[in-house]
Chain A
Amino acid sequence: MILATNDIAELIEHMRGLGVAEIEIAGGDEMLRVALPEAVEQSVRTASGPAIIAAAACGIFFLGHPAREVTLSIGTRLEAGEVVGVIATGPLLQPVSAPAAGTLTRVLCEPGQRVDFGTPLLAFAPLDPPPDLRKRKDA
């Protein structure tokens, strides 16, 4: 391999940061082509049922934090914006956070796995919408 897979994640982060959409690296009789996807939604909320938190970066997924004991489990209440995991790209950690308050219902990705943009990580059930929103929906 021209680059180890972990280095490719770091290369992708440089491409994203520098606004490079596609890159080709040739070395010997090997060629590596990396193309970034279009913008990826970090969370997808279906009309009913659980919301999915997807990876917004490329790297290794950790539930909680690699330097802490994991205290999250199915049924854990999440606050809006709470960091529930991280994606490690080289030495950089980027947050995986709850887009709204809710309850963790499933871990969709094995912690320690390499993830790509849009890889589903966690499912969570959002709390009921606040009363004023519900009224508007009923009207």
Chain B
Amino acid sequence: MIEILETQPLNSIQDLGRLGWRCHGIGRSGAMDRVALAAANALLGNEEGAAGIEFQLFPARLRFRADTVFAITGADCAPRLDGHLLPPWWAMAAREGQELVLSPPRRGLRSYLAVAGGIDVPLVLGSRSTQMRDGFGGLGGRALAAGDGLAALPAAPFTMRDRAGHGALPASQSLAAAAHDTARAGEIVLRVIGAAEYGQFDEVSRNTFWNAPWKVTSQSNRQGCRLAGNALRRTELVEMRSHGIVPGVIQVPPSGEPIIQLADGNSAGGYPKIGVVIEADLWRIAQAAPGNVLRFVSCTLEEAHAAEREIVSYLLRLRRLADYCRFPVSEQAA
């Protein structure tokens, strides 16, 4: 059991999302950085899609009301357990009464807390993710608030091989980012496949799209990432009807500055789509703070699949190796 002592708005319970309901206008939701949440679950031996807490605003404080094994991943929020600084991307046991404090990350944006068993909130349409726009899922469809109590689903008890815990090499150091000819250090390179209306943009705009820096604006959130840069123009303005869209789709509204649809994005939209960021790179957007620069690089479907396989392999290797770091309690007593 976890008691939230202090939180900021917009911190919520998320799993890997609510799939299969887009046809009814229900978007995916789910962790913005699904690799971080899945890695936290791998460290604990949870199901990959067990629900955790997504923190996007700090500081946050919580108290463990029972002995709990937890993992924290994503942006390094310098987690402190009873004042002791923990490494990032780390799993360890907390004793009843201990307090965990998360501070604003210096790099990255979102941190994830998972507990052994996963956070116990009801499944709604197959997912525990909070759908804040429509107010369902998670904890009553809302963000966390001070005083909330969260329980974990039952998990077979285990002890850690090392009392100091164990961790994961962060995704940013494990998964190779794509190269980009003109990107500078610290810029975030995203692989993109051209979308249906790509050909409608004029040549200058298409070159700008691939070669110019795109700054993340402060009007970015779980719904979408709004970018600032040179406006993109189409050669002819074709009216479009609303059509289904998915997270990763890069829309170009009349202003000419792109918006990348994300986890809480609309299920349908009518703006022309210049491209779509591949699923395997969406976690990088989750950690892009306002002011960060994004770069787009063209990628094939085969390369997108290979990038996805790289994530699957990272998580599987981590899960197998982390399994050796935990001993079932009954086995140890025998």
Say which residue of B87, B164, B170, B318 sits within 8 Å of A92 (CB atoms).
Answer: B318
Residues of B within 8 A of A (CB): 76, 84, 86-90, 162-170, 172-174, 314, 317-318, 320-325
Residue pair A89, B163 in contact (C-beta under 8 Å): no
A24 to B47, CA, bound (A): 33
Contact B164 A91 (CB under 8 A): no
A93→B169 contact, CB < 8 A: yes
CB of A103 closer than 8 Å to a CB of B? no
Is the beta-carbon distance between A81 and B164 smaller than 8 angstroms?
yes
What does the 1/0 interface line of A9-35 toward B look like (CB < 8 Å)? 010011011100000000000000000
CB-defined A-B contacts under 8 Å, sample of 21: A10-B317, A13-B324, A17-B324, A66-B169, A66-B170, A79-B84, A83-B87, A83-B165, A86-B87, A90-B169, A90-B318, A91-B168, A91-B174, A92-B167, A92-B168, A92-B321, A93-B166, A94-B166, A94-B325, A95-B162, A95-B165
Q: Which of A68, A79, A83 gathers the greatest number of chain B CB atoms within 10 Å?
A: A83
CB distance from A23 to the nearest CB of B (A): 16
Q: CA of A20 to CA of B234 in the docked complex: distance in angstroms?
A: 63
Contact A92 B325 (CB under 8 A): yes
Residues in chain B near residue A94, CB distance under 8 A: 162, 166-167, 325
If A17-B321, A83-B86, A83-B164 are given as contacts, then 16 extra A-B residue pairs at C-beta distance below 8 Å, sorted by A number, are: A10-B321, A13-B321, A65-B87, A65-B88, A79-B84, A81-B163, A83-B165, A91-B168, A91-B174, A91-B321, A92-B168, A92-B318, A93-B89, A93-B90, A94-B325, A95-B166
**Chain B hits for A66, CB < 8 A:** 169-170, 173
Q: How far is the CA of A10 from the CA of B167 in the complex (A)?
A: 15
B111 to chain A, nearest CB (A): 13
* A43: chain B residues within 8 A (beta carbon): none
A56 interface residue per 8 A CB criterion: yes
Most buried by B among A66, A68, A91: A91
Q: How far is the CA of A126 from the CA of B62 in the complex (A)?
A: 33
Which A residues are CB-close (under 8 A) to B324? 13-14, 16-18
Interchain CB contact under 8 A, B167 and A93? yes
B residues less than 8 Å from A10 (CB atoms)? 317, 321
Tell me the complex Cα distance, A81–B167, Å.
15
In the complex, what distance in Å separates the CA atom of A74 from the CA atom of B84? 20
**Residues from chain B with Cβ under 8 Å of A41 in the complex:** none
How far apart are the CA atoms of A75 and B89 in the complex, in Å? 27
- Closest chain A residue to B78, Cβ basis: A68
Contacts of B169 in A (CB 8 A): 66, 88, 90-93
A67 touching B89, Cβ below 8 Å? yes
Chain A residues within an 8 Å CB radius of B170: 66-67
Majority secondary structure, A binding face? mixed
In angstroms, Cα B88 to Cα A16, docked, is 25
Residue of A nearest to B107 (CB): A67
Residue of A nearest to B163 (CB): A81
Q: Is A82 an interface residue (CB 8 A)?
A: yes
B164 touches A97 (CB 8 A): yes
Q: Give Cα distance in the complex from A67 to B106, angstroms.
A: 12
- Expressed in whole angstroms, the minimum distance between the Cβ of B108 and any Cβ of chain A is 10
Asked if B318 contacts A91 (CB within 8 A), the reply is yes
B84 touches A93 (CB 8 A): no
CA distance A17 to B166 in the complex (A): 14
Q: Which residue of B167, B172, B320, B325 is within 8 Å of A14 (Cβ)?
A: B320
Q: How far is the CB of A61 from chain B (nearest CB, A)?
A: 13
In the complex, what distance in Å separates the CA atom of A79 from the CA atom of B163?
A: 14
A93-B170 Cα distance, complex, nearest whole Å = 10
Q: B315 to chain A: closest CB distance in Å?
A: 8
A-B pairs, 6 with minimum CB distance: A17-B324, A92-B321, A95-B164, A93-B167, A97-B164, A91-B318
Q: Which of B165, B167, B320 has the most CB of A within 10 A?
A: B167
> Which of B162, B166, B172, B317 interacts with A90 by CB under 8 Å?
B317
What residue of chain B has the Cβ atom nearest to residue A97's Cβ?
A: B164
Q: Taking the nearest CB of chain B, how far is it from the CB of A89, in angstroms?
A: 6
Q: Are A92 and B166 within 8 A (Cβ)?
A: yes
Q: Nearest chain B CB to A84's CB is how many angstroms away?
A: 10
Interchain CA distance A106-B88 in the complex, whole Å? 24
